[in-house]
Amino acid sequence: MDTVFYTLQDFLLHSKSVTYVLMGLGLLLYVFWWWFLTDKDEKKRLF
C-alpha cells in the first residue's frame, strides 16, 4: 500500500503484476460462479 515508486517502470511492474494475478483469480471466480449458478438446472441431454 505504502510502496514508493521511483520510476514509471517500477509503478507499471507493480500495478500490472497485481492486475495479472487478479485476472487469474477473476477467471477462476467466473468458472466457479457459473457452476454455482447452473448446477441446479436441468441437464440438457446431448445424446
Chain residues binding another protein by CB under 8 A are: 1-2, 11, 14-16, 18-19, 22-23, 26, 29-30, 33-34, 36-40
Q: How far is the CB of 46 from another protein (least distance, A)?
A: 19
Q: How many CA atoms lie within 13 A of 41 on its CB side?
A: 9
Q: How far is the CB of 29 from another protein (least distance, A)?
A: 7
Identify whether the C-beta of residue 5 lies closer than 8 Å to the C-beta of residue 14.
Answer: yes
Rank residues 7 and 38 by Cβ distance to another protein and give the closer one.
38
Q: How many CA atoms lie within 13 A of 9 on its CB side?
A: 0
